[in-house]
Amino acid sequence: MFKFFRNIRLREYFSSPNPDTSIEPVGYSPVHTPTPFRSKSYFVPPANRNHSIETYCRLVEKDVAHLLKNKQDFKSFHNLSKDEKKALLDLQSDTSVLIRPADKGGSVVLMDRTDYVNECHRQLLDNTFYKKLRSDPTSQFQNTIFTVLDGYLNSGQLTKKEYDFLAIQHPKIATFYTLPKLHKNVTNPPGHPIVAGIDAITAPLSTFVDFFIRPLAEQLPSFVKDISSMISIIESLDPLPENTLLVTFDVESLYTNIPHEGGIEAMEHFLLQRDPNELPSSACIITLAEIVLTHNYFMFLNYFFIQTKGTAMGSPMAPNYANLYVGYMEKQSIFNPLKNVFLPNIIIWKRYIDDIFVLWRGDAELLQSFYAFLNSCSEHLRFTMQSDTRQISFLDLLILCEDNVLYTDLYRKPTDRNSLLRADSCHPLPLKNSLPYSQFCRIKRICIKQSDFDRNMAETQDKFKERGYNNDKINIAIEKIQNKTRHDLFQGQSRKKTHSCVLTTRYSKCSEQI
């Protein structure tokens, strides 16, 4: 409740004609790039500035206290049977097993804890990528970071707001875990390594660096933002030459195979596009990126490890950093006519981080020669390839060719499961009611042919029925989607700015009465 009341008072305080803004730090210099970064504010406006607001807050607080006092009057419904609840409690108390979501497909995996720990140790004890530390390095790393930030603040590279955001005083220690890759091996799945680094010591620095490199990554000629942009690219193509091959390449373990020197070199190259007088300077951004890469430590089973190679896992800048690294290779090799003799055979080359879609003009034998050339372009990158004349999967799309014209259908991975939210879940009703429509929108955006749309709609309706959704709710969503064109869905909705203050609470039996 305090946060809700504070937001109301803040809204009133800063909407008044002459609020006291002296609490705000000094702004940006003319050459300093405006950034949204600042430390979290705990400012609370002076009390009793507006008697109407204070009266409202007291009445709300009184009503909520009354509801909570009498919450036993509100009925609650359980969506698990007694046997199901007992089974979950038994699993929870069984220390020999571990429950994890699958890396892909939405499955829930019950794992032997020993196997899970052994897989984590197998990865972490690989000295190529990780190093075990003797103790917690937080204080040492914090001193290093603060020293660098102090220098940049004093030299004017950073504003006071940015400094306060970057100099995190009480960081959390990142943790390492893996998700089982069932699509690789069902009986003994390898683990997809993940570092949960929210509020870690380098997280603000990584967010700051990402702010400056994201626009550079989005300007790459191969850049694909999302599925919608890929569909737009496909629909804009002219009819293809006869016997065009549909090709996809995948960069193997991209994040872990980027050497720090190569990644920084790529960043430096693209940062040259900035105004040399702009602050913070490119050198400052590079230094902060180096700190993120070389100080990415985490904990697993009370032991500390540090990553020694590759993109900093769990780091906000990781996708765009990897994008720039591959983009630099593309610029030097793929799009360089002096080096790539196969360039005339490439109709389009589009990439979403480590997934590449190519339209190839030429036969399969020539494609194999290009594949060999591609794997020679970088000693750190290795590619896998798939090709077909009729259809190929890319992201969540099935891209098909008919009469030399491309169209898209929805692609479902073999490991996909029906993971739609159950209708009897305790999630808010508006959320559950919106799910059929949102899924139908996705189908209509992706499926260009009416026959594909009808088939996927029927399959998705069955999935919703399996999860307990009644026909009325499904039919309402169907009627709504029938009134929309694909153009409407790609345009999206312009959200109106709201000036309301939202009260967010934990779920309870009397939530709907508040």
- pLDDT, one tens digit per residue, over 479-509 is 999 988 888 888 765 566 666 777 777 766 6
Q: What per-residue confidence (pLDDT) applies to 491?
A: 79
The mean per-residue pLDDT over the stretch 334-363 comes to: 96
Longest pairwise C-alpha distance within the chain: 80
Q: What per-residue confidence (pLDDT) applies to 490?
A: 84
At 227-242, the pLDDT tens digits run 999 999 999 999 999 9
Helix (H, G, I), strand (E, B) or coil at 324: helix
At 449-483, the pLDDT tens digits run 999 999 999 999 999 999 999 999 999 999 999 98
Q: What per-residue confidence (pLDDT) applies to 22?
A: 43
Say if residue 317 is exposed, middle or buried (CB neighbours under 10 Å; 0-12, 13-18, 19+).
Answer: buried
Name the token pair of 344.
């005339």
Q: Within 275-338, where are the H helices?
A: 282-294, 318-329
Label residue 1 by pLDDT band (50, 70, 90): confident
Residue 312: count of CB within 10 angstroms of its CB: 30
Label residue 247 by pLDDT band (50, 70, 90): very high
Name the token pair of 189.
């799945």
Q: What per-residue confidence (pLDDT) applies to 27?
A: 46
What's the predicted TM-score (pTM) here?
Answer: 0.87
Q: Could you tell me the strand order of the sheet in which 346-352 lies?
A: 346-352, 355-360, 245-251, 383-388
Across-strand partners of 177?
Answer: 194
CA dist 163 and 236 (Å) reads 45
Q: Among 213, 221, 193, which residue's Cα sits nearest to residue 316?
A: 213
> Residue 86 pLDDT > 60, yes or no?
yes
CA dist 29 and 33 (Å) reads 8
> Residue 28 pLDDT > 50, yes or no?
no
> Residue 415 pLDDT > 80, yes or no?
no
Least trusted range by pLDDT, from 299-313, 348-362, 403-417: 403-417
Residue 316: count of CB within 10 angstroms of its CB: 22
Percent of the chain residues topping a pLDDT of 70: 92
Name the token pair of 372.
């060999």
Across-strand partners of 195?
Answer: 176
Q: Among 43, 53, 6, 49, which residue's Cα sits nearest to residue 21?
A: 43
